[in-house]
């Protein structure tokens, strides 16, 4: 098996909750709570889960746009957690991020050409003339006319701005792209244009993607493997096909059953979850899903399930698997 390009181990990010005039810390939001996974070169790892489960925080913390509370992130043979600020800045050339909102992620006061060449300038890459050539090439690769460089972000549609955001991330020739909901703000017909573009760019530039989204059919389509998050923790991780055809975790099962299918004759057996998502400031003890799980047992309330490889390459954190319950796999 190939070596992982990125190794995330026991990553945690807690945000302090401050109250009162003295801004005393009264607790923590456990946005990312002990998450471990690997990303292999050239693959797309999807991360799904409901709003607030910690997807964006995972993406940002692993690039150290947010400082982790604890845990390690390895990029090839470099421990990112131990780099100092300037070393980390230099490292960002290889690890880029594209944000969800194509409207707010581009500075409205600069022309597109300036926005795209700035990162190369900051990293001291290429001559000014080469930078302009690169900007034009990337715009073209991303399906825009090179003359777009002389215009301002507001002159473009949502889909075009997302193309600009992707082009900007690619100017540095990175090996990893964290894509945080890159198509969520777009209409379906434009969304599919961007997805195809991402697939083409991945092949052309040998990119590795961490694709964060809450639209499950999009994630299924683009990902080689998919990780499911719930309340800051990983519930399940498997190849896209295994996860969607044979989900093991009761949460994944409920999530997948809730996807509306455009075929009106499609059979649906919906698992309706009761109750609301608990607060990540005050997560349930034991298994974080036990308050909504139809299979919850005593042990689920007391003990956190371990992250285990139930089948080759198929990881799950649930007491229904392993030694806790004999043969009690729900179907």
Q: Which residues bind ligand ATP (CB under 6 A)?
A: 15, 29, 31, 49, 51-57, 214, 280
User: Using CA atoms, how far apart are residues 315 and 307, in angstroms rounded to an integer?
Assistant: 7
| One of 56, 58, 61, 208 touching Mg ion (CB under 5 A) | 56
- Between 150 and 189, how does the x/- string for binding to another protein read (CB under 8 A)? -------x-xx--------------------------xxx
Give the binding range for Mg ion (CB under 5 A) out of 49-57, 188-196, 270-278, 294-302: 49-57
* Residue 55 interacting entry, from ligand SF4, ligand ATP, another protein, none, C-beta within 5 to 8 Å by type: ligand ATP
Cβ at position 325, least distance to ligand ATP in Å: 30
Cβ at position 329, least distance to ligand ATP in Å: 28
Distances (CA, A) of 134 to 102, 119, 183, 209: 21, 12, 24, 22
- Between 286 and 305, how does the x/- string for binding to ligand SF4 read (CB under 6 A)? -x-xx--x-xxx--x----x
User: Using CA atoms, how far apart are residues 35 and 122, in angstroms rounded to an integer?
Assistant: 32
* Residue 272 interacting entry, from ligand SF4, another protein, Mg ion, none, C-beta within 5 to 8 Å by type: another protein
Q: Total binding residues for another protein by CB under 8 A?
A: 42
* Residue 104 interacting entry, from ligand SF4, another protein, ligand ATP, none, C-beta within 5 to 8 Å by type: none
Q: CA 228: distance to chain centroid?
A: 10
Of the candidates 218, 257, 217, 224, the one whose C-alpha atom is nearest the C-alpha of residue 238 is: 224
- Between CA 225 and CA 234, with CA 231 as vertex, the angle to 5 degrees is 30
User: Using CA atoms, how far apart are residues 98 and 325, in angstroms rounded to an integer?
Assistant: 42
Give the binding range for another protein (CB under 8 A) out of 70-78, 203-211, 265-273, 305-313: 265-273
Q: Which burial class, exposed, middle or buried, applies to 243 when counting CB atoms under 10 A from its CB (0-12, 13-18, 19+)?
A: buried
List alpha helices for 179-284, DSSP H.
188-205, 216-222, 240-245, 250-257
Q: CA 16: distance to chain centroid?
A: 22
Q: Does 319 bind ligand SF4 (CB under 6 A)?
A: yes
Residues that bind ligand SF4 (CB under 6 A): 249-250, 287, 289-290, 293, 295-297, 300, 305, 318-320
């Amino acid at each position: 098996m190939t070596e992982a390009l990125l190794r995330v181990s026991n990553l945690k990010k807690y945000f302090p909750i401050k109250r009162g005039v003295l801004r005393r810390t009264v607790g923590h939001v456990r946005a990312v709570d002990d998450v471990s996974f690997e990303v292999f070169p050239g693959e797309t790892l999807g991360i799904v889960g409901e709003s607030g489960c910690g997807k964006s925080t995972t993406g940002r913390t692993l690039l150290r746009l947010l400082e982790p509370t604890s845990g390690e992130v390895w990029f090839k043979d470099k421990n990112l957690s131990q780099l100092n600020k300037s070393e980390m800045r230099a490292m960002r050339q290889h690890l880029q991020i594209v944000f969800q909102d194509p409207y707010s992620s581009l500075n409205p006061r600069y022309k597109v050409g300036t926005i795209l060449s700035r990162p190369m300038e900051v990293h001291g890459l290429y001559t000014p003339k080469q930078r302009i050539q690169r900007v034009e090439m990337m715009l073209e690769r991303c399906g825009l006319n090179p003359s777009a460089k002389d215009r301002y972000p507001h002159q473009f549609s949502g889909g075009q701005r997302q193309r600009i955001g992707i082009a900007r991330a690619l100017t540095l020739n990175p090996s990893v792209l964290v894509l945080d909901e890159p198509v969520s703000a777009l209409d379906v017909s434009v969304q599919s244009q961007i997805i195809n573009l991402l697939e083409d760019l991945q092949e052309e530039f040998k990119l590795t993607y961490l694709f964060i989204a809450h639209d499950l059919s999009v994630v299924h389509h683009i990902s080689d493997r998919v990780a499911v998050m719930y309340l800051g923790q990983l519930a399940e991780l498997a190849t896209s096909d295994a996860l969607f055809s044979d989900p093991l975790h009761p949460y994944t099962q409920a999530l997948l059953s809730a996807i509306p299918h455009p075929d009106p004759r499609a059979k649906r057996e919906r698992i309706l979850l009761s109750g609301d998502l608990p607060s990540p400031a005050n997560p349930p003890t034991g298994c974080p899903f036990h308050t909504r799980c139809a299979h919850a047992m005593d042990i689920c309330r007391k003990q956190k399930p371990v992250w285990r490889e139930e089948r080759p390459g198929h990881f799950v954190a649930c007491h229904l698997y392993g030694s806790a319950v004999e043969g009690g796999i729900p179907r």
